[in-house]
Structure 1
């Protein structure tokens, strides 16, 4: 039987992130074979993952990252079961590493199949389920492209956003971040009027008309008054029309134009835990 030293246990712990006792047990069972010990730990993770497959993973970390050339951005959530794990430094680092890896892929399925230090991302998540003892999974996966992409992660990693601007101009980085902060705080349903589904507008018009009827307004006036309420709906719920959170005297679109007269917001992505 191979002699298992403290250095061996620590080495396996460094490689896998598993607990000291788990690493020692895995090495003993594998008779000192590191590859077999790693495989055994991963199998343990698979067993834990299967046992927790029906658990809700609504906590975790939302991470947004942008490519070096500022043309692409990705925002993901790495989900777990408890806020305690979601705040763990190692967990947040794993989420950040996965977000940076995600810049190279176009979908969650592609990311899950990607190589992560010799194993696939999906295998890494199973491994970490075994290590942590909670269900770990990629939740949201969103990409955004543009002439200049910026990001914002809200304190505690609960919300992460991306915004795209029409040009890389002086002040674009600050503007993109400020607009991303706006999207995080105000949760718009669309970029502008064109992005709002027609069924939503029809429903809002019907609600407005019913309210007006209840107030005793004449039927002939309902359409015009309802249109005014829809304009208010756009102002409250579409990113570029919202009041800018740092200066309520201007809209987000006006703020961006104050940075550069030709600058516009061309897209955004927002993901949140829960």
Structure 2
């Protein structure tokens, strides 16, 4: 039997995140071969992943990152099964690392195939499934590009948002963060009226008409009144038309223009875990 030192066990633990006994057992089985021990732990992860493939991974950490040029941002959700794991520092650090790496890619598939600490991201997730004992996977992967991109992560890593602005001007960083916080808190359905799906509009008009009929309003008046209610829906549910949460006397669009007269919000992304 190979003589396994504490330093070797610690090196494997730092590399994989596995527990001390799991690392020692893997090194013993591998007769001290570090790479073989890593492979043993990975195979353990594959077995656990196969057993837990049908489990629901609705917990996790949602991380938003923006590149150094502030013109591209990503949101990545690293999902797991329990809130206990989601709050673990090591799990959050893994989510942060994968999100940082994601800035270099334009699809989840490319990210999963990318190298992360000596192995593919997909393999790292399998390895960590074995280490943690829960299904670990990347859920959402969003990209936003704009002349200026800002981000916000709500406390607890359950909600993350990105906001794109039309120009990188003085105050853009503060404005983008404020609007990103707005999107996190108010959960708009779209950027503006043009971004609302027609099926949603049709549904809102029909709901309004049913309410008006129940109130006894004449059929001939329904269309006009329903349009007024639809405008209210747009105001409450589209980002740029919402009342700004820090100053309800102005809309989000008006707030952004107060920072710079030519500045507009061009896009946003929001990812939340239930």
TM-score (ref. length: structure 1): 0.99
Does residue 44 in structure 1 map to residue 49 in structure 2?
Answer: no
Corresponding position of 1:122: 122
Instruction: Tell me the SS of whatever aligns to 2:155.
Output: coil
Corresponding position of 2:9: 9
Corresponding position of 1:99: 99
Corresponding position of 2:111: 111
Aligned runs of 1:4-153 on 2, under 5 Å? 4-153=4-153
Aligned structure 1 segments of 4 or more residues deviating by more than 2 angstroms: none
Corresponding position of 1:205: 205
Shift of 1:68: 0.3
Shift of 1:180: 0.3
Distance 1:5 1:184 in 2: 49
Q: How many residues align?
A: 274
Distance 1:10 1:117 in 2: 16
Corresponding position of 1:262: 262
Shift of 1:223: 1.0
Shift of 1:66: 0.2
Corresponding position of 2:170: 170
Instruction: Tell me the SS of whatever aligns to 1:270.
Output: strand
Distance 1:241 1:23 in 2: 55
Shift of 1:271: 0.2
Q: Which moved more, 1:248-257 or 1:213-222?
A: 213-222
Shift of 1:90: 1.1
Aligned runs of 1:219-238 on 2, under 5 Å? 219-238=219-238
Distance 2:112 2:17 in 1: 20
Instruction: Tell me the SS of whatever aligns to 1:55.
Output: coil
Distance 2:223 2:27 in 1: 75
Instruction: Tell me the SS of whatever aligns to 1:178.
Output: helix
Instruction: Tell me the SS of whatever aligns to 2:77.
Output: strand
List gaps (5 residues or longer) in structure 1.
none
Q: Deviations over 1:71-92 (max 9, x none)?
A: 0000010001111111111111
Q: Deviations over 1:250-273 (max 9, x none)?
A: 100001011111110000000011
Distance 2:271 2:154 in 1: 11
List gaps (5 residues or longer) in structure 2.
none
Shift of 1:128: 0.3
Shift of 1:202: 1.1
Computed over aligned residues only, the root mean square deviation of the Cα atoms, in angstroms, reads 0.7
Shift of 1:124: 0.2
Distance 2:245 2:28 in 1: 59
Distance 1:212 1:245 in 2: 30
Shift of 1:23: 0.7
Q: Deviations over 1:183-240 (max 9, x none)?
A: 0000001000000011111111111111111111111111111110000000111000
